[in-house]
Chains A and B, each alone.
Chain A
Amino acid sequence: MTSQTQTKTTSNKVASYLMLIVLVVMALSIVALFLAFDTFLFGGEDNQLAALILAGLGIIALITAVFLLYQSRKQAAEIKIEAPKVMTTIECQNKGCGNKTMREFQRGDYVFKDFDTACPKCGGRQIITAAYKEIKEKEKTYAI
């Protein structure tokens, strides 16, 4: 119990420490961008390079700050163990019929189990021939 409380406190300290850095970087980057803009407009031709350097530094600092903010603010998503939809295939064993039906998997189903109800088409014996899940989304491929 004590160790849990301690961990939480330290973790918060890390977050605020990070947050402080992020805010300072963000403020400085905005100032740098403002100065760059100001130098570019009113600094004359001689200070154009300085304005560019300032603008570059400001943009890099701003991107870094936003990235750090995103990292520190990213909360662990709530996880729920979801059961994928598994379908059971039931086939009629009468060769002339071959009726095939599918329904959601139920506890007690297994492949090659004699199905308790007769085929609705011919009244023949039915068995479970497959049980699988279908994944709709395509796996990301890298063209190499």
Chain B
Amino acid sequence: MQYNVSFIPGSDSISQVLSLVMFVFFAGFIFYGQKLQMHIMIREVENSLHKLRITKDEGRKIAIDTLNEIGKPTSDPSARVDRYLDYFTIGPQGMDPQGIVYKLDHILDVRDDRLKEEVRLLAPQVINDEVQINNLENTLEAAMALNYIYKVVRHYYIQGRKTMSLYVIMQLQMILPMVMKEAEAYSSALKAFSYGQPIGDSVGPLVVSKLMHGYEIRKVPKDCVVASVPLEGRTALLLKAEGPGGNVGKPGDAIEAVIEEQQGKLACLIMIDAGLKLEGEMVGEISEGIGSAIGGPGVDAFKIEEKITKYKIRNYAIIVKEDIGDAVSPMRKEINDAVDKVIDRVKDIIKERTKEGDTVLIVGVGNSIGIGQ
């Protein structure tokens, strides 16, 4: 059997020319395919950048509206807010790392004080209301994060366009889903902070608040509260950041202070915090482990580890699983429902790992926004 197959099919010349054009076009794809791919990626980045710009502008607007509503500034706060959004912090020099933790601690203290002072200037009406000042500071910090994300993405986008480098654009395009997720998280955090609503990260303080509610509370440095509560025949010292304003306190300093007060005579330290879930895990799942369950730049974890090592205190951790979006947006029902289960776990640890009459320290790590005590 004989097949009549030619590369340029068609009996008339028009069909053959069209077929030839088609082959040329496909050959063109081979040489310019990468360039085309880059333009598609640039378009995708452009769309995301557009979304980021809208989110950033909306964030700035929410921050200014909240300041006007609560702080009642005497003049338009827009210019000062813009200055605030561009605020930066330079980390300590790490060439000689000895003592770097305390240098970083100092820099973070100065930053926190400076930002609070700025908020007080922006919101004269609530100058002495620590709760509102903290909430406004948190709102502005969320707007600041959105502003920073937008500027960084824009920087790499323009750099990619200028150099027409596929690899710059490709790297940006590859991390964009994660960047967009983070931006979405901060945008939902803005409303939560401006209204003073509990967020996913507040689960640790919520657990401790539930246990300490109704007992005498005293303040410990910095911005934390502690209560002594009888629990399962033991004395539980319950510690959390002072609420209901948006405040994480300095649990490192507070734990140090409480351990020193007790002269290290603690049967164990239990830390409860929100933990990032892996994909596939359910929101509100509880996990138990060992170590300092605390995020941030590491200063607090360092101080806690120093102290518990000095006194050989056993350190247990309980985390409630959630993703970054849940951690900074209003608390989900699943996370709120996990609170009673965490309390049961805490009681189990106490019963199984300590003796009656012992003293234990239980710390609820996280932002106390919307959580009283």
Contacts and interface: CB of A to CB of B under 8 A. Distances in A.
A28 B58 CA distance: 45
Contacts of A1: none
B370 A110 contact: yes
A66 interface: no
B259 to A, nearest CB: 27
Contacts of A141: 280
A53 B26 CA distance: 14
B51 interface: yes
A141 B281 CA distance: 10
B373 A81 contact: no
Interface string A48-61: 01110110010001
Contacts of A107: 195-196
Interface in B339-373: 370-373
Contacts of A15: 43
A65 to B, nearest CB: 11
B54 A21 contact: no
Interface size class of A (residues with CB under 8 A): 35 or more
B333 A112 contact: no
Contacts of A130: 336
Contacts of B243: 110
A143 to B, nearest CB: 10
Contacts of A25: 25
A113 B372 contact: yes
Interface residues of B, number: 58
B196 A46 contact: no
A79 B197 contact: no
Interface stretch (B184-192, B286-294, B303-311): B184-192
A9 interface: no
A75 B161 CA distance: 20
B331 interface: yes
A105 B188 CA distance: 15
A53 B2 CA distance: 17
B10 A35 contact: yes
A84 B280 contact: no
B198 A83 contact: no
A53 B5 CA distance: 10
A14 to B, nearest CB: 5
A110 B371 contact: yes
Contacts of B332: 132-135
Nearest to B279: A142
B269 interface: no
B196 A78 contact: no
Contact of A110 (B6, B36, B59, B196): B196
Interface in A61-95: 61, 68, 71-72, 74-81, 83-84, 86
A85 B50 CA distance: 27
A10 interface: yes
Given A28-B21, A81-B190, 8 more contacts: A7-B161, A51-B9, A68-B40, A79-B55, A79-B58, A84-B191, A112-B373, A131-B197
Interface of B: 2-6, 9-10, 15, 18-19, 21-22, 25, 36, 39-40, 42-44, 46-48, 50-51, 54-55, 58-59, 62, 158, 161, 187-188, 190-192, 195-198, 206, 209, 213, 243-244, 280, 283, 329-333, 335-336, 370-373
27 contacts: A14-B43, A15-B43, A18-B39, A18-B40, A28-B18, A28-B22, A31-B18, A31-B22, A35-B15, A39-B9, A57-B22, A71-B43, A76-B48, A76-B50, A76-B54, A81-B62, A86-B192, A110-B196, A110-B244, A110-B372, A111-B198, A130-B336, A131-B197, A133-B329, A133-B331, A133-B333, A139-B283
Interface of A: 7, 10-11, 14-15, 17-18, 21, 24-25, 28, 31-32, 35, 39, 46-47, 49-51, 53-54, 57, 61, 68, 71-72, 74-81, 83-84, 86, 105, 107-113, 130-135, 139, 141-142, 144
